[in-house]
Structure 1
Amino acid sequence: MASRRQFFKQGSLGLLSSLILPLPVFAKDMSDFNGVVINEGEGEAFQMRDGTAIVKIKIAKAQGAESISFLSESFKPGDGLPVHKHLNEDELIFLHKGSGLFTLGDKQYQIKEGAVALVPKGVWHGLQNTGSENIEMRFGYTPSGFEGFFREVGTPVGQAFIQKTMNERRAIAKKWGMIYRD
């Protein structure tokens, strides 16, 4: 009985220490970050794909938001986000306006205004605008940082659009931990 009691006592201490000791690894001091407010017309804006799709970075790691980023995108009927997956981030997508065909894993869903999708890292996903109006979507990543992909692959609004080939986009995506499905 004493050895069993000793076993549980030592096991409990081991479990407790394993829960307490790693906390500094996971907890980051965010005391200097007091949040951020971005209005509708604000944020870094980039022309994507054929130059008509616009991505706005609203909340980013560069602003001090380590745990999450938030962006918006607008794209015309017939345009779409190629099926891809993120190796490092979960993504939350909200369809603010429009309708389309959303791919998630091996399934496809007809979505419309108000739809929400949670895409865990490593899951294939994409969105095709099959409607008659622009898609307006809001999306975010956790952890933050992937928004840097849009800075690198897009052209800042106000500058002459430079279209990247799919091979160039694939190389940039790979750098950021994203893979396009062939």
Structure 2
Amino acid sequence: MSDFRKAVISAPGRERLARAPHGAKVVIHATAAETNGAFGMWETFTLPGKGPAPHTHTRETEVFRVVQGTYRFQCGDEEFDAPPGTVVVLPPHVRHSWRNISSELGQMFAIVTPGGFEQLFLEIEATAGAPDKIASIEARLGIINDETTALDP
């Protein structure tokens, strides 16, 4: 792990491309390994009607900024829409989900603290998104996912 004494640079054309469990393209900008565990950072590009299954993070707080499209978030018992420019902070240990409710490709910038969750996207890309692999990756990263939990052996 680095000691985070050097700049982390994600330049156009040199980003790390990955996938989310729901198939969205993810561009990784910084990882926990590069920030000494402080945070992870990425952008997600979500097709209309798509988003992750309801899930709970047991380790990290997530911060999203909607860049394009409108997303519908659920956090616990609360549901709200987030148009471009909206910043949403989701606490750990609270079941949540979101989906792109617009008719265009959605884009969100995201940060997790502490870092580490961004590794999910890189590992999904490496395993070609096999559902049985996703469940074990999520479990190892402390994610409780309503859809993949049933797939765990």
1:88 aligns with 2:59: yes
Alignment identity in percent?
A: 25
Q: Secondary structure at 1:154's aligned position in 2?
A: helix
Q: Gapped runs of 5+ residues in structure 2?
A: 148-153
TM-score for both structures, normalised by structure 1: 0.71
Shift of 1:144: 1.1
Deviations 1:81-126 (A, max 9, x none): 2111110111111111101211111111112111111111111111
Matching of residue 164 in structure 1 with residue 130 in structure 2: yes
Aligned to 1:136: 107
Alpha-carbon displacement from aligned partner over 1:29-78 (angstroms, at most 9, x marks no partner): 95x61322323443210134465x21111011222442111111101102
**1:109 and 2:75 are equivalent in the alignment:** no
1:28-177 correspondence runs (5 A): 30=3, 33-49=5-21, 51=23, 53-155=24-126, 162-165=128-131, 167-177=132-142
C-alpha separation in 2, matches of 1:48 and 1:148 = 10
Residue 32 of structure 2 contacts residue 115 of structure 2 at CA under 8 Å; is this kept in 1?
Answer: yes
Structure 1 contact 104–125 (Cα < 8 Å) conserved:
yes
Q: CA deviation at 1:135?
A: 0.9
CA-CA distance at 1:154 after TM superposition: 2.4
* Change in CA separation of 1:34 and 1:44 when aligned onto 2, cut-off 3 Å: same
CA contact (8 A) 1:59 1:71 kept: yes
Q: Comparing both chains, which one has the higher relative contact order based on Cα–Cα distances under 8 Å and sequence gaps of 6 or more?
A: 2
Please, which of 110, 129, 146 is the counterpart of residue 181 of structure 1? 146
3-state DSSP of counterpart to 1:149: helix
Q: Secondary structure at the match of 1:92?
A: strand
Superposition pairs for residues 10-21 of structure 1, below 5 Å? Answer: none
Aligned residue pairs total 146
Segments of structure 1 that go 5 or more residues without pairing to the other structure are 1-28, 156-160
SS of match in other structure, 1:152 = helix
Q: CA RMSD in A?
A: 2.2
Q: TM-score normalised to the size of structure 2?
A: 0.84
Task: Report if the CA contact (8 A) 1:49-1:164 is conserved.
Answer: no
Which one has a larger percent helix, Structure 1 or Structure 2?
1
